[in-house]
Amino acid sequence: MVRARARGVVAAVILLALGVVAPASVSAADPFAELDLIRPSRPTAAPEFTVPGLTGGPIALRDLRGEVVFLNFWATWCPPCKQEMPSMERLYRRYKDRGFTVLAVSIDTADATTVAHFVKHLSLTFPIGLDPKMDIANRYTVRGLPSSFLLDRNGTMVAVAMGPREWDGTAARAVIESLLK
C-alpha cells in the first residue's frame, strides 16, 4: 500500500514537472467563467435609460459613460438579493475611486420608503434607482432576481449574471480589474 501511494506521488510530481497538469492552487482559470458569468458573443450596447433615483433626481446611464458600471436589478422581498448586497457594497467601496460604480435598480412596487429602509438597514452607499413598473428591467430582459450586468467604460455589455454572487471575492475583483484597465 505504501509503495502504491509512493508511486502515485512520484507520478504526480513528474506530471507537474512536465507541465501536463497544473496544481489546483496555480489555476489560470478565467474569472468570468469562475463567476459563471454569461458573456455576449458579440459586443452589445447596453440599452440607455433614465431612472428616478432614490435620494433625489434622475440617474441616466449615459451620464455614467467612462465608468465601469455594475448594473443590478433587485427587490427588497428577494432573499438572494439581500444576500449579495453586502458584497456589492464592499466591491463598490473598493473601486469607486477608480472609475467603477454600482447602480442597483429596485423593481419594488411598494413606495420608495420601503426601499429606503432596506438601503439604510444594509448601509448601502451606491446609487439606487427605482423601476416599479419594470420598464428598464424589461428592456434588459430580466427574468429573475437578482440579475446583474457588467458594462465597460463605453457602455458595452460585457457580462451578465443571473442569481446571487459573492461580488467581492477573488474572481469578481479580477473581472473588475480587467475592465478598469
Domain CATH code at residue 138: 3.40.30.10
The model's pLDDT over 27-78, given as tens digits with 9 standing for 90+, comes to 458 999 999 999 999 999 999 999 999 998 999 999 999 999 999 999 999 9
Is 10 a domain residue? no
The model's pLDDT over 110-158, given as tens digits with 9 standing for 90+, comes to 999 999 999 999 999 999 999 999 999 999 999 999 999 999 999 999 9
Is 117 a domain residue? yes
Cell of 149: 450586468
Is 22 a domain residue? no
pLDDT(9) > 50: no
Is 21 a domain residue? no
Give residue 28's pLDDT. 53
Q: How many domains does the chain have?
A: 1
With pLDDT > 90 as the criterion, what percentage of the chain qualifies? 83
Give residue 13's pLDDT. 38
Give residue 29's pLDDT. 85
Do residues 165 and 33 lie in contact, with contact meaning Cβ atoms separated by under 8 Å? no
Give residue 25's pLDDT. 38
Secondary structure element (H or E) that encloses residue 25, with its range? none
Domain coverage including residue 68:
28-180
Is 9 a domain residue? no
Mean pLDDT of the chain, nearest integer: 89
pLDDT(2) > 50: no
Secondary structure element (H or E) that encloses residue 14, with its range? helix 2-18
Distance CA 80, CA 70 (A): 17
Is 73 a domain residue? yes
Is 1 a domain residue? no
The model's pLDDT over 64-92, given as tens digits with 9 standing for 90+, comes to 999 999 999 999 999 999 999 999 999 99
Is 15 a domain residue? no
pLDDT interval class at 5 (50, 70, 90): very low
